[in-house]
Chains A and B, each alone.
Chain A
Amino acid sequence: MSTMRAGGRWIRADLRARKGQAALTVLAVAGIVAALIAAVTLLEDGTNPWRGLFAQTNGAHVWFYTKDSPTVAVGAIDGVTHVAGPYRSAPVTVAQDGKKEPTSLRAMPSAPAGVARPVVAEGRWLDPSQADGVVVERSFASALRVKVGAPFTVIALSGERHTLYVRGIADSAEQGFFPEWTPGLAWVLPGTLDRIEPMLGRSEWVTGLRLTDADAAQIVSQRVVVMLDDQLQRVYTWREVRAAMELDNRLLGTLLALFGVVGLVAAALALANAAGGRVLGQLRDLATLKSMGFTRGQVALLLLTEHGSLGLLGVLLGAVAGWAATVAVLGASLVAPMPVLTIVASTALVVLAAVGVPAWRGGRTPPIPAAPAVPPRGHLSRLARLALLVRLPPALILGTRDAFTRRVPAFLTVFGLAVPMMMITIGLGVWATLDNFLSHPEQVGQHAALHVRAGKLEPAQAERLVRRDPGVLAVYPGAEVNALAPGEARSIRVRALGGSASGAYPFPVVEGRLYGQPGEAVAGQGLFDLLGAKIGDRVRLTVGGSPLIVRIVGRTVEPDLDGEVLSVGLDSLAAKDAVPPEFYALALRPGADPAEVRARLLAASGEGLDVQRVVNPADRLTIIRVVIVALIVLLSLIGLANLLTACALGLRDHAFDLAVLKAMGLTPRQVMATLVTGSGLLVVLGVAVGTAVGVSVVTGLIDLQGHTSGVGAGIGRPPSPLTLTLAVLAAVGAALAVAIIPARRAARAQVPIATR
């Protein structure tokens, strides 16, 4: 109690004496925490839109399709709170700009439904006064490029054409986005649907169930299967919808984790530096406190309380600001509380840990207040002696001496620069890996740039057409089928491409070898993990009822489907699946533009062929580049802030020496050179160490991350020497520019030879 009172006085006085610095610490921590929360929540929302849509639309957890309107009381199943529908749904084809897309036309009343209601994003909902109105699901609308007010031509199964008009574009959490999830979705009034598709036998009924507990979806869907038996067409739960909406979630998950760790390390560094610098500056006061009767533990507790509460205040402010920012962007119901709470808790822990070390050191201050705070080791360091030996100018020698006389601050400065630099190098490595994806798609399994489907033409005719094109280097006929693996509930993708022995598609095999005969296969890391298989194993799959037995002889880099893909030669598949080929993969000649070849093929076939460009995984990961840039900016700022603290501390230590140096006849310019050399050496060392460590771990880290995301090891690329050189030069240059500011001020200032 008594120490609390005495300590309270001391903390109050200390904070009052350095309001600006304390405010800066709070703001720095608050900024990092707010940025973390905003980035994580917004990125999470961007990559996993399901949760937001589900909350907005008051969505249903289980959806099932039946032939007739379900006759049993599904609402009575345990755990079901609301039933959406049943809504009648008819398969139609939408003809838009010459393209035809299968669509599911859903009848919905004009009154908004309580559960699983589509939320209108543009325009208005269906209105009975406009019977020709249609509302289109947003991803489908953007794929069709239709706007509100545009005509929307549907072709019923009978072949009859009906022209509707788009009244609105709406979001729904009922199914995944088009074109990953087909058919597309559009809503009309029940009367309109009756007019377009009068035959009830050609439509199905869609029912959604909202549950009290989302985890019960699997059990409820099984109950539905049992109750509806042969009436049931198909059933799926929110998990499938979410999975369909997610964008490379595992890859982004690891990226988010990396971002979080970097943010935490940055916050810790900033705080440890601020608190450590303050403690070093207060050693005399701490000694005085001890001579008055503060114990070691009490001094440590005092410092922990003071600096820790500043940090925690920053965490709190940052959490509030980050929360407010995300709420402003997304709306209150859409901000996930879990990541925010995790960030707050982990930053609070990191704050206490970061402050704990300087507090502990402060507690160990010897109680003799007369103990000098000047460099305790005045002799020349080895480096300085070397500098003397090669007859460097005196300023350089003095600076070299200064750099290492106080080892702990020197280490802290080097460390404070090396960590951000290491992270920046890793960020550049991720960038280089993405660039490598783009410039060498064949190294990630995308040797072919175009996929051509026969479309309206005969397969043989299509093949002749593509082989004739001057830009095409090689044509690999292929097919993609789903296969059931033994003991697995879900199916895996089997990609058959090219021949097994001759004309094999050049998959990027990183382990083992490429298949050389029918019955051999290569697979991605995700498949090995899924089946628990290894190279050399024989796996038995079922493709559409017929067995497919292959031996896996190699591992490929596989960016698709979390790496859960088995690749074989086309002749390994049964003829019913392989003939005629489903598509042709076209490898182009170096320098040929895929867009040009595509246009040429379309023109040659009279729009008969369906030519698609292969999506490079790097294109889908553009958001990572934004994150990398933000990360590099944040890290640079933190590194420079650390350097400024270190410079200020160094100046405090050397204020007396500077006066002596000036008295000895050093010009202000030489004094400045001395100071800049001192910090510059540490800067160069820190940047070099950080870059070296970053380069040595980056490939491993990316490969590790590739492994967990199923792509598999073998994609990591270190940044190019040129990028690294530029980064190092920029870092050292910026650091020196920052170091010059206090040095100049110190060199110009009149430093009196004062008593301590």
Chain B
Amino acid sequence: MTPVLKTVHLVKIYSDGAVPVPAVRGVDLQVEPGEFVAVMGPSGSGKSTLVHMLGGLDSRTSGEIWLDGQRVDTLSESAWALLRRKKIGFVFQFFNLVGNMTVADNVELPALLAGASPKEARERRESLLGALNLTERADAAPGQLSGGEQQRVALARALANQPSVLLADEPTGNLDSRNTRDVLKLLSNVHKEGQTIVMVTHDARVAGLADRLVSLFDGEIVDDGRIARKRTRTAGAVIDLR
């Protein structure tokens, strides 16, 4: 089976300032379809840089990135943008909803961008918001929503085009524990439906939800292993967070 995402000796060096700062130093990572990978590490370990590079938001210094069996690190900024429409969904720490647009418009935007007709986009939005329990907030502005609700909208937006991989950068970093639980529950549900997820977090309890934990330190992978967990039929339905 071809991996959804593969990196080969991926390196990122920031050279804006006087001294070049290496953020990612030779990461080899392979993500299989349907996997839920958590990337952990302390502040400044390069986790956000890594996930930004995986989505083409930041350019790599050297190394390769493969997405769905296609080499993508050589793509131009515009080609990356076109690729992101169909294959990559992003969830950010600060939600990054377009403040002027209603919840419904925020969720429909990626679908419209990918070429769906307004009718299709509306149907998809209705089913997504329905699944996330946000149907009645469709006409609200993002500013009127709580943090958890905003992140759920962001998740709906990221999933609007059924991307090959969902990239989440500290999705719970700005939420209280109750909202964290809600969002994680949703992520877990999405994962059960077969969605590939790469999530960056510095919270061990959040990372515990994933199938696989990759630890990053000073831009290098120091540990990569499956989380041994008793998998029951109801796994993910009850998440015990204390």
A293, B85: Cβ atoms closer than 8 Å: yes
B81 in contact (CB, < 8 A): yes
Q: How many residues of A contact B (CB 8 A)?
A: 33
A589 CA to B12 CA, complexed, in Å: 86
One of B113-121, B189-197, B203-211, B215-223 at the interface: B113-121
One of A7-15, A176-184, A504-512, A545-553 at the interface: A7-15
A366 CA to B94 CA, complexed, in Å: 17
Give the Cβ gap from B90 to chain A, nearest Cβ, in Å.
5
Select B81's contact among A10, A14, A17, A290, beta carbons within 8 Å. A290
Select A292's contact among B77, B102, B110, beta carbons within 8 Å. B110
Question: Looking at A2, A288, A296, which has the most chain B CB atoms within 10 Å of its CB?
Answer: A288
Query: Which chain B residues lie closer than 8 Å to A18 at the CB level?
Result: 100
Query: Which chain A residues lie closer than 8 Å to B118 at the CB level?
Result: 5
Interface string of A276-317 (1 = CB under 8 A from B): 000000001101111111111110000000000000000000
- Given known A291-B84, A368-B58, contact A13–B96 (CB-CB < 8 A): no
B81, A294: Cβ atoms closer than 8 Å: yes
Interface string of B73-101 (1 = CB under 8 A from A): 00001100111110000101110111111
Question: Which residue from chain A places its CB closest to the CB of B77 in the assembled complex?
Answer: A296
A293 CA to B108 CA, complexed, in Å: 13
A413 CA to B138 CA, complexed, in Å: 41
A9 CA to B157 CA, complexed, in Å: 15
B172 in contact (CB, < 8 A): no
B48, A370: Cβ atoms closer than 8 Å: yes
A369, B96: Cβ atoms closer than 8 Å: yes
B98, A2: Cβ atoms closer than 8 Å: no
Taking residues whose C-beta sits less than 8 angstroms from the other chain, chain B's interface range is: 35 or more
Interface string of B49-84 (1 = CB under 8 A from A): 000100111100000000000000000011001111
B162 in contact (CB, < 8 A): no
A291, B101: Cβ atoms closer than 8 Å: no
A293, B81: Cβ atoms closer than 8 Å: yes
Give the Cβ gap from A361 to chain B, nearest Cβ, in Å.
15
Query: Which chain A residues lie closer than 8 Å to B114 at the CB level?
Result: 2, 293
Query: Which chain A residues lie closer than 8 Å to B115 at the CB level?
Result: 1-2
Query: Which chain A residues lie closer than 8 Å to B113 at the CB level?
Result: 2-3, 6, 292-294
A595 CA to B55 CA, complexed, in Å: 87
Select A295's contact among B78, B102, B112, B157, beta carbons within 8 Å. B78
B109 in contact (CB, < 8 A): yes
A514 CA to B139 CA, complexed, in Å: 85
Give the Cβ gap from B163 to chain A, nearest Cβ, in Å.
10
A464 in contact (CB, < 8 A): no
Question: Looking at B85, B109, B110, which has the most chain A CB atoms within 10 Å of its CB?
Answer: B109
B182 in contact (CB, < 8 A): no
Query: Which chain B residues lie closer than 8 Å to A755 at the CB level?
Result: 94, 174
A14 CA to B118 CA, complexed, in Å: 19
A356 in contact (CB, < 8 A): no
Near B by CB (< 8 A), chain A positions 578-612 give none
Question: Which residue from chain A places its CB closest to the CB of B58 in the assembled complex?
Answer: A368
Interface string of A93-114 (1 = CB under 8 A from B): 0000000000000000000000
A370, B94: Cβ atoms closer than 8 Å: yes
Interface string of A139-179 (1 = CB under 8 A from B): 00000000000000000000000000000000000000000
Question: Looking at A14, A16, A292, A366, which has the most chain B CB atoms within 10 Å of its CB?
Answer: A292
A540 CA to B174 CA, complexed, in Å: 93
B57, A368: Cβ atoms closer than 8 Å: yes
A291, B96: Cβ atoms closer than 8 Å: yes
Query: Which chain A residues lie closer than 8 Å to B99 at the CB level?
Result: 17, 285
A6, B96: Cβ atoms closer than 8 Å: no
A468 in contact (CB, < 8 A): no
B96, A288: Cβ atoms closer than 8 Å: yes
A367 in contact (CB, < 8 A): yes
Give the Cβ gap from B48 to chain A, nearest Cβ, in Å.
7
A291, B94: Cβ atoms closer than 8 Å: no
B32 in contact (CB, < 8 A): no
Query: Which chain B residues lie closer than 8 Å to A16 at the CB level?
Result: 100
Question: Which residue from chain B places its CB closest to the CB of A289 in the assembled complex?
Answer: B98
B110, A14: Cβ atoms closer than 8 Å: no
Near B by CB (< 8 A), chain A positions 1-50 give 1-3, 5-6, 9-10, 13-14, 16-18
B82, A293: Cβ atoms closer than 8 Å: yes
Query: Which chain B residues lie closer than 8 Å to A290 at the CB level?
Result: 57, 81
A297 CA to B99 CA, complexed, in Å: 22
Interface string of B116-137 (1 = CB under 8 A from A): 1010000000000000000000
Question: Which residue from chain A places its CB closest to the CB of B116 in the assembled complex?
Answer: A2
Give the Cβ gap from A522 to chain B, nearest Cβ, in Å.
67
A298 CA to B112 CA, complexed, in Å: 14
Give the Cβ gap from B26 to chain A, nearest Cβ, in Å.
22
B28 in contact (CB, < 8 A): no
Query: Which chain A residues lie closer than 8 Å to B105 at the CB level?
Result: 9, 13
A369 CA to B51 CA, complexed, in Å: 13
Query: Which chain A residues lie closer than 8 Å to B81 at the CB level?
Result: 290, 293-296, 298, 367
Question: Looking at A1, A16, A293, A369, which has the most chain B CB atoms within 10 Å of its CB?
Answer: A293
Question: Which residue from chain A places its CB closest to the CB of B105 in the assembled complex?
Answer: A9
A292 CA to B114 CA, complexed, in Å: 10
Select A370's contact among B92, B98, B100, B112, beta carbons within 8 Å. B92
Give the Cβ gap from A302 to chain B, nearest Cβ, in Å.
11
Select B98's contact among A1, A285, A298, beta carbons within 8 Å. A285
A366 CA to B57 CA, complexed, in Å: 8
Query: Which chain B residues lie closer than 8 Å to A296 at the CB level?
Result: 77-78, 81
Question: Which residue from chain A places its CB closest to the CB of B101 in the assembled complex?
Answer: A13
- Given known A293-B113, A294-B113, A367-B57, contact A17–B100 (CB-CB < 8 A): yes
Question: Which residue from chain A places its CB closest to the CB of B169 in the assembled complex?
Answer: A370
A485 CA to B100 CA, complexed, in Å: 74
Question: Which residue from chain B places its CB closest to the CB of A298 in the assembled complex?
Answer: B81
A672 CA to B114 CA, complexed, in Å: 48
Interface string of B161-202 (1 = CB under 8 A from A): 000000001000010000000000000000000000000000
Question: Looking at B55, B100, B114, which has the most chain A CB atoms within 10 Å of its CB?
Answer: B100
Give the Cβ gap from B35 to chain A, nearest Cβ, in Å.
22
A490 in contact (CB, < 8 A): no
Question: Which residue from chain A places its CB closest to the CB of B59 in the assembled complex?
Answer: A366
B78, A10: Cβ atoms closer than 8 Å: no
B109, A6: Cβ atoms closer than 8 Å: yes
A336 CA to B56 CA, complexed, in Å: 56
Interface string of B14-47 (1 = CB under 8 A from A): 0000000000000000000000000000000000
Query: Which chain A residues lie closer than 8 Å to B83 at the CB level?
Result: 293
A370, B110: Cβ atoms closer than 8 Å: no
B52, A288: Cβ atoms closer than 8 Å: no
B92, A5: Cβ atoms closer than 8 Å: no
- Given known A2-B113, A9-B101, A284-B96, contact A291–B78 (CB-CB < 8 A): no
A576 in contact (CB, < 8 A): no
B84, A292: Cβ atoms closer than 8 Å: yes
A13, B90: Cβ atoms closer than 8 Å: no
A2 CA to B113 CA, complexed, in Å: 5
Query: Which chain B residues lie closer than 8 Å to A295 at the CB level?
Result: 77-78, 81-82
A370, B93: Cβ atoms closer than 8 Å: yes
Query: Which chain B residues lie closer than 8 Å to A2 at the CB level?
Result: 112-116
A9, B77: Cβ atoms closer than 8 Å: no
Give the Cβ gap from A137 to chain B, nearest Cβ, in Å.
65
A756 in contact (CB, < 8 A): yes
B112, A291: Cβ atoms closer than 8 Å: no
6 A-B pairs with least C-beta separation: A293-B85, A17-B100, A295-B78, A6-B112, A2-B115, A13-B101
15 contacts between A and B (CB under 8 A): A2-B115, A3-B113, A5-B118, A9-B101, A285-B98, A287-B96, A288-B97, A290-B81, A291-B55, A292-B84, A292-B157, A293-B113, A367-B81, A368-B52, A370-B93
Known: A14-B100, A288-B96. 6 other contacts (CB 8 A): A1-B115, A13-B101, A291-B92, A292-B113, A366-B58, A755-B174
